Structure 1
Amino acid sequence: MPAAKILGKDEFPEFQYKPAHQFMRCHSHNDDPADGETKIWRCAFEPDPSDSCKWTGIVATCGGSYICLIDSHKGECKAKLLQHEDQYFDVIWCTVQFADGINTNVLAAAGAEGRVTLIHPSKNKMFAHLPVFKKAYISCLRSHPANVNWLFCGADHGKIALIDTGLTGSSNYDISWQKIKMFSCTGTDIIQMIVKDSWLISAAQKGCYVWKMKNVSKDREDQTHDCQLAFPVASTADNYCDGISLLDDSTVAIKFSKGASIFIWSLSILSKKLTPVMNVKPDLILPWVKTSEIYIDITSRDGLLVAGDHKGNILLYSIGEFLKNKSAYGDTETPRCTVLWPALKPDTSDPINKRLKKIDNPPLINHASLSPDMKYLIACTDNNLVCIWSRADIASATKQ
């Protein structure tokens, strides 16, 4: 099985990211700068409403009771929205047209209260709270690839709700939302999910589940999962399937909390007749880290796979060549580089930060993601830090 080659700085310079700004603690409970307990779960890059291939430089982060909007270029928190009774676990951007016909970015966030909060960031306004689930929290959100109004909402009781936010064409924030369909694999926490064509695939506490989605315009009956995918890992109750990412139109990466590996596999396996359990032979196995920690996400962007770890580090895997020609890849080693956790000291010149202490123990990286232009690497930690790295060549040009 092909392995991963660990590269030095000179061998793969485009892998090099450096801290761009002082790491930010903007989700603190009661604005306490010494809060090292709040967990930051996700970040999402704001798309340019007129060109989805570009972005605005703003990244939304969620953790605790706050949604923050951060200027990645300047390292500044531009807005901080609070909802006291909620704890946010995921956030996602939607570009819609209100009644005025102008493309507008709306932020959707969800978490412990089982509802989706809709936010108009340009006006710093939370304008709707959609009660999707009554007795479950929402751990992940995913947009529908064909309808900007539709969101998949994955919950801790093994259900995924497809909802219509009703945003398009609405005016004065007067929306009429509805639940369209429910997908279920009862008894397991839906941790993350991907959507491709008619396939809905979840990473969940008890494994990886697949639904072949029917035409929801004609069939809105609740749908149980069609199959569970089995990977070459120990099948134990504490080995969560906690990370999944769509690498291209036909390739998926998946991770288990105690697997110490990331598995790359092809959606083509689903072209076979579906059975209750289907064994997957990965096309590529990438070494990750050995840890007992859970909920460490994986993401990808333009041939780079990103995975944090429990020691504050971020692993970057260059899989572009593999994706271009899988059959010819053979035993080629996959380039890998690790962005190491830096030594941090608080800026005590600011009176507010005098209560901060040096962070001696590196945090767990819950989530790390590359910006659409690949210039920034953003990480969310379990000790209330939003970390911004910039690509080394960008950082050097800025200083000149």
Structure 2
Amino acid sequence: DKARASNQPAKEATPDQEAEGTQKNGEQFPKGAEPLHFLQCHSKGNSREDFKTQLWSCVFEPLLDCGARKGETVATCGGESVCLIDCETGVVLKKYKVATEEFFSVAWTTLPMVNSDSRKKSHNILAAAGRRGIVKLIHVAADFCYGEIKAHKKPIATVCFSPTQETHLFTASYDKRIALWDIGIPDCDYNFKASQLLVLESFSVPLRIALVPTCPEQYLLAGCEEGCFTWNIKLEKEQKNRPFEVTFQFPDEEGEMTTSHRVDGLAFLNDDVVASKSSKPGCIYLWSWSRSFDTKGKGCQRTVSAVILAELEWSTTDLSYLTLSTCPAKEHVFCGDEKGSVWIYNLSNYTTAWSSAKAKRSDKRIPPTQILKWPELQSNGDHLSEILINNVITDPTFTYLVALTSVNITAIWKKS
């Protein structure tokens, strides 16, 4: 089912914002983007009346060496289903449903699997997890969920794969633990063996996790219900259950430094700059990982102040779990709001200055380069309103922007 969209143009940036946000290579996205598809494909029981199912996580399928896909396929999850969508055509290519589940997170990895003829071939595997604490492993090309890992006894908030170890999967749960699993490589009969490698202990629920780009096998960063923490995840250490190494302090609304605040948005903008969003209204922090985290510090469970480089101007809503994303290749940050808008920040003019060890914090909040407004949508003649953007991402080529909403709508824009 599709909701009908009036093809209103996206809001243009003001001349000042446009000048401030122009990329080094002259490209900009999604200025001039057009709304392409608005899909209602996660409906409970396939009901076209379902505008209540919340959509939470989306990620683009990696390109395989054989080029079987064009990089236009996105996996989305929410409610009882996981969908694979062709962004160009709007066709839902595949749909995986578990009637007793509510999916919160999806992540891709590429495994060198052995075919029936004993030859190795790369295949994309999708991991999906949610309320039941179980990770489903799906071989998408074969339309087959070949296994599951009973990872936690409480819901899993988010999952992510290591960028350097294709079988290493992190699961962050409401049991206040982050687990590292080796999911193994299935044989031609889909037999596989999963094993738990690490358990990271947290004092609060982990909501977002990110591996540090310069050392993805050594440090993991997590935004939690009650703060921002990092752990040493190096597998050479014998200790399997580990406390956090550091908790980071951020300014509260009165300017006082505090560790007790919800961090519901977290992603690396580049190798060093972290974008994080807490419950402080109207603000997304940009801060330096290397200048904040001193590896020479003594002992675990230290408290350090985040070295903040700048603040991004954002919505003043006090609603939580409207997460942010980044596109490191294009130096952009994206975040949806409580009105169905997508805030877009082109930060290419700032990142060079921030790379200096002497870089000072910007005095003024950086405004969005562009705010992509939600178009008019109608269903059975009624306008859809009160739309929260729970998640928003772009594909690696910067052609498509996908936003997930609180009203069971997957929205896709395309650069015109």
Mark yes or no: TM-score above 0.5.
Answer: yes
2:222 to 193, 202, 206: 202
Partner of 1:178: 195
Distance 1:23 1:237, change over 3 A: farther
For 1:36-185, what aligned pairs fall within 5 Å after superposition? 36-50=51-65, 56-100=71-115, 101-134=120-153, 136-167=154-185, 170-185=187-202
Moved more, 375-384 or 269-278: 269-278
Deviation digits for residues 201-225 of structure 1, max 9, x if unmatched?
A: 10110010111223x1442420011
Which amino acid in the other structure matches residue 364 of structure 1? L
Please tell me whether residue 345 in structure 1 is matched to residue 378 in structure 2.
yes
Partner of 1:353: none
Distance 1:183 1:152, change over 3 A: same
Moved more, 333-342 or 316-325: 333-342
Q: Determine helix, strand or coil for the equivalent of 1:34.
A: coil
* Structure 1 residue 183, shift from structure 2 partner: 0.3
Counterparts of 1:103 and 1:310, CA distance in 2: 40
Which amino acid in the other structure matches residue 192 of structure 1? R
Distance 1:238 1:219, change over 3 A: closer
For 1:1-400, what aligned pairs fall within 5 Å after superposition? 7-8=14-15, 14-50=29-65, 56-100=71-115, 101-134=120-153, 136-167=154-185, 170-186=187-203, 188-196=204-212, 197=215, 198-214=218-234, 216-234=235-253, 239-268=261-290, 269-271=292-294, 273=297, 276-301=302-327, 302-326=330-354, 327=356, 336-346=369-379, 356-392=380-416
Which amino acid in the other structure matches residue 341 of structure 1? W
Total equivalences in the alignment: 373
Counterparts of 1:79 and 1:158, CA distance in 2: 33
Q: Determine helix, strand or coil for the equivalent of 1:151.
A: strand
CA RMSD for the aligned pairs? 2.4
Unaligned runs of 5+ residues in structure 1 are 1-5, 347-355, 393-400
Which amino acid in the other structure matches residue 182 of structure 1? V
- Alignment TM-score, normalising by the size of structure 2: 0.84
Counterparts of 1:195 and 1:10, CA distance in 2: 32
Counterparts of 1:61 and 1:139, CA distance in 2: 15
Contact 1:297–1:366 at 8 Å: present in 2 too?
yes
Which amino acid in the other structure matches residue 207 of structure 1? G
Distance 1:237 1:360, change over 3 A: farther
- Alignment TM-score, normalising by the size of structure 1: 0.87
Distance 1:238 1:40, change over 3 A: farther
Counterparts of 2:265 and 2:376, CA distance in 1: 28
Unaligned runs of 5+ residues in structure 2 are 1-12, 23-27
Contact 1:310–1:363 at 8 Å: present in 2 too?
yes
Which amino acid in the other structure matches residue 246 of structure 1? F
Identity, in percent, stands at 26
Contact 2:378–2:384 at 8 Å: present in 1 too?
no
Contact 2:265–2:277 at 8 Å: present in 1 too?
yes
Which amino acid in the other structure matches residue 299 of structure 1? S
Distance 1:15 1:79, change over 3 A: closer
Deviation digits for residues 18-71 of structure 1, max 9, x if unmatched?
A: 34433000000000011011000011100111189x952110000001000100
Counterparts of 2:77 and 2:381, CA distance in 1: 23
Contact 2:30–2:414 at 8 Å: present in 1 too?
no
* Structure 1 residue 237, shift from structure 2 partner: 11
